[in-house]
Chains A and B, each alone.
Chain A
Amino acid sequence: MSNPPTIYGLLAEFEKPAELLAATRAARTAGYQKMDAYSPYPIEGLAEALGFHRTRLPLMILVGGIIGCLGGFALQYWCAAVNYPVNVGGRPLNSWPLFIPITFELTVLCAALSAVIGLFALNRLPMPYHPVFNVRRFALATRDRFFLCIEATDPNFDLTATRQFLDGLKPKQIEEVLP
């Protein structure tokens, strides 16, 4: 406890989602940057309160979808018109309207795969170990409790001052998170 950098941060527990949202906004106003809020369900406005506004995920999904679309069509065109041309009843080799269904399916498939892979990659999951799991009561974060963690790497972090600040937000409990 005498050596502040040896802890991961301070974890404040709240009983109501509104308290967590208000506390997060207050911490942000007080100048804290490196923090995270944990809740059992998505709370509207909480990510914004942490200063997180935009995610690259939609762009990744769009790129995935475009790759699936072009790749799907190119695959069929190359197979049916270039590599092994088959004359089916005199139809054109590049009979593109008949290639649309598979092109569509592969667009959706690649977009959905990039959505899920992108989601986990950006969230850095799977992550079997995380310091917040050291706090026993954190198990309630997936049930009915709401947590705000101000991390020790924040430039404004000071064990005593930050604890005092969190105390002012009237949490149910404050705990130190071991790294």
Chain B
Amino acid sequence: MSDQPLHNTAQFSTPAEPPLIEPGYTFASVTDKISVIVLRKGTPRGWWVGLLISFSLVSLLLYAVSYLLIAGVGIWGINIPVGWGFAITNFVWWIGIGHAGTLISAILLLLHQEWRTSINRFAEAMTLFAVACAGLFPLLHMGRPWFFYWMFPYPNTMKIWPQFRSPLIWDVFAVSTYFTVSLLFWYVGLVPDMATLRDRSASRFGRIAYGVLAMGWRGSAYHWRRYEVAYLILAGLATPLVVSVHTVVSFDFAVANVPGWHSTIFPPYFVAGAIYSGFAMVLILAIPLRAFYGLEDFITQRHLENMGKIMLATGLIVGYGYFMEAFMAWYGGNQYDLYMAINRALGPYWPAYWALLACNVVAPQVLWFKRARSHVAVLFVVACIVLVGMWLERFVIIVTSLHRDYLPSSWGMYSPTFWDWATFLGSIGLFFSLLFLFVRFLPMISISEMRTLLPDANAEQAAEIKSDLTKLP
């Protein structure tokens, strides 16, 4: 115990950097503090209120989807020339939000960013739920969602195959692979914690339910070794995957021959935008969760600040993307592209364009200041603004490009209907309902990974004692 401060300084090379876990925690107290949130009897009232609000939005979603299945996609505001409207805007927005989870759990793991540990679990859950919400929209947008399996290559009586040269089919593979791999990654991470909950649960039902999910995990050193290998390789696989998913989503646009879409900057600029909105959502979730469940010792000020820095960096990349779009429209000398750029800024949808610039480029500049980054309320507000901005970005890209393309005779306007809004708000409700259920029934912070951050877990300490003990027998 006496040499504990020594290990603290060894672990964090710059003494000015605050620790990842507040001092004074042990293996037992970390375990208990996280698992008690799930295992305690009775549920806090705030949780019920939150679930009730989210679930009423889910009811709205069910209502909107039921009517959609009866009446068809004509209930939405979409028509020629704007056939994509809200559905695809929401799809791209949600899938972008999902990207932060895999980024935190995979890329930051490979980069040895230990601060990711306390936020990766719920960021991964956020990914799954966001991808689920995202998947909803192209399905509903198909018009006959019950034939969704036509997109997969299976031998069928029509004797035809999907068009593998189309980015829309690439999307099917990219999104379904992304969901599957994220789910596997999340579940593998959960298994040791399921074993902890199995062994700590007081109720028979809890022991059985968590026991089934733990699959008999017992913490054997052989198992841990393979587990670490598998986890690292999964992270290595998820890293190019997360980049590929939003790249493929951007191909939906970039491969098409529409002014404002047909651009090589789309893949990197979409990936940066995805991470940008994803971190905004992680902040929006982390800030109330840590306050509500008293997890400030685990999700520290340093975590919030780092996420603010990532938001600032990706926000600058996105801003560069906007600038390049406008610049290339002028520099390329193509009259349709130039008209597109002017129409975005000054055409009928000008408020959306300028609002998106204000939200995504101007607002995050406040994060240059350390005082702003370390102020929880400022971070929360900036994150909300960024999410609005990123939604507007997709809306502007889709609607302003489609509504006026080459032939002025085929121009048109798009405006969302009640059902567009109902489906969009409903998907937000679905996302938050799933999250409320998640924080109630599963540990929102990885317990086994948090243990490795404790000073007691240090391997150097182990080596010292080892030299004494090997002499023994």
Q: A36-B220, A55-B229 are in contact. Are A26 and B472 (CB under 8 A)?
A: yes
- The residue on B at minimum CB distance from A27 is B473
Q: Are B233 and A58 in contact (CB under 8 A)?
A: yes
Among A17, A22, A37, A115, the residue within 8 A (CB) of B457 is A17
Q: Are A44 and B226 in contact (CB under 8 A)?
A: no
1/0 per residue, CB under 8 A from B, across A10-23: the answer is 00000011110111
In the docked arrangement, what's the CA distance between A31 and B27, Å?
31
Q: B225 an interface residue at 8 Å Cβ cutoff? A: yes
- A sample of 21 inter-chain contacts (CB < 8 A) reads A17-B456, A25-B469, A36-B222, A41-B451, A43-B457, A45-B462, A61-B230, A80-B164, A105-B170, A106-B173, A106-B177, A109-B181, A115-B233, A116-B184, A123-B222, A125-B215, A129-B216, A133-B218, A142-B196, A144-B28, A168-B473
In the docked arrangement, what's the CA distance between A22 and B177, Å?
43
Q: Which of B240-248, B283-291, B395-403, B411-419 contacts A (4 or more CB under 8 A)?
A: B240-248
Min CB distance B145 to A, Å, is: 22
Interchain pairs with CB closer than 8 A, number = 236
Which of chain B's residues have a CB closer than 8 A to the CB of A130? 216, 218
Q: Which of B50-58, B153-161, B423-431 contacts A (4 or more CB under 8 A)?
A: B153-161
Which of chain A's residues have a CB closer than 8 A to the CB of B248? 101, 105
Among A44, A101, A120, the residue within 8 A (CB) of B174 is A101
Min CB distance A82 to B, Å, is: 10
Q: B296 an interface residue at 8 Å Cβ cutoff? A: no
Q: B67 an interface residue at 8 Å Cβ cutoff? A: no
Q: Which residues of chain A from 153 to 174 have any CB-CB distance to chain B below 8 Å in the complex?
A: 165, 168-169
Q: Are A47 and B165 in contact (CB under 8 A)?
A: no
Given A42-B224, A46-B224, A123-B227; 15 other pairs, CB 8 A cutoff: A17-B456, A39-B219, A40-B196, A45-B459, A47-B221, A79-B161, A84-B159, A98-B164, A115-B234, A118-B230, A119-B227, A123-B226, A128-B211, A130-B218, A142-B200
Q: Are B230 and A116 in contact (CB under 8 A)?
A: yes
Q: B43 an interface residue at 8 Å Cβ cutoff? A: no
Which of chain B's residues have a CB closer than 8 A to the CB of A57? 226, 229-230, 233
Q: A43-B462, A101-B244 are in contact. Are A50 and B222 (CB under 8 A)?
A: yes
Q: A2 an interface residue at 8 Å Cβ cutoff? A: no
Q: A29 an interface residue at 8 Å Cβ cutoff? A: yes
Q: B377 an interface residue at 8 Å Cβ cutoff? A: no
In the docked arrangement, what's the CA distance between A116 and B180, Å?
11
Q: Are A143 and B31 in contact (CB under 8 A)?
A: yes
In the docked arrangement, what's the CA distance between A101 and B228, Å?
29
Which of chain B's residues have a CB closer than 8 A to the CB of A169? 469, 472
Q: Are B224 and A43 in contact (CB under 8 A)?
A: yes
Q: A127-B215, A169-B472 are in contact. Are A37 and B221 (CB under 8 A)?
A: yes
Q: A112-B181, A119-B227 are in contact. Are A22 and B221 (CB under 8 A)?
A: no
- The residue on B at minimum CB distance from A42 is B224
In the docked arrangement, what's the CA distance between A17 and B200, Å?
20
Q: Which residues of chain B from 179 to 208 have any CB-CB distance to chain A below 8 Å in the complex?
A: 180-181, 184-185, 187-188, 192, 195-196, 198-200
Which of chain B's residues have a CB closer than 8 A to the CB of A138? 218
Among B169, B185, B251, B466, the residue within 8 A (CB) of A18 is B466
Q: Are A42 and B227 in contact (CB under 8 A)?
A: yes
Q: B410 an interface residue at 8 Å Cβ cutoff? A: no
